[in-house]
Amino acid sequence: MRSVLTALICSGFLFSACSSEPAGPDFKEGKWSITSKTEMQGMAMQIPATTFEQCMSAEDRVPVQQNDNDGCKVLEQKVDGDTVSWRIECNHSKGDGTITYKGESFHGKMNMHTDTGMGAMTMTTTMTGKYLGPCE
């Protein structure tokens, strides 16, 4: 009787461990308004903040302002709780970033490293996002 009870308890733990999938970030799929502010190392002139909209899904939670000339590709995404981190590579630069989702908003940071021909340069972009609704 004792071994049957032990087997039932163990199988219950095994079942609950197998059936619990890790939860993704507190994120809503749809259209987001994203504001980004970039600072360049060694530059006195401030770059104005930009705002753009992007549809994001559970497969693509990385905010990237598309510029056809950049050829940027997200190489890797990792999820840890509500935080998404990634690596990105463009034609002339590469970098990494993280964002933390809080339901209908997020904040994050991305570092890009490029060689300008006159030396290496690092750009740091801070981002905030606000969920707007379903994608059209």
Kindly report, residue by residue over 2-58, the tens digit of the pLDDT.
443 333 333 333 333 333 444 678 888 999 999 999 998 777 778 889 999 999 888
More confident residue, 73 or 130: 130
Query: Domain span at residue 107?
Result: 24-133
Which pLDDT score is estimated for 12?
Answer: 38
53 assigned to some structural domain:
yes
Number of domains in the chain: 1
Which pLDDT score is estimated for 17?
Answer: 38
51 assigned to some structural domain:
yes
Secondary structure of 84-130 in HEC code, one letter for each residue: EEEEEECCCEEEEEEEEECECEEEEEEEEEEECCCCEEEEEEEEEEE
Please give the share of the chain, as a percent, with pLDDT higher than 90.
40
Please give the share of the chain, as a percent, with pLDDT higher than 70.
78
Stated pTM of the model: 0.72
117 assigned to some structural domain:
yes
9 assigned to some structural domain:
no
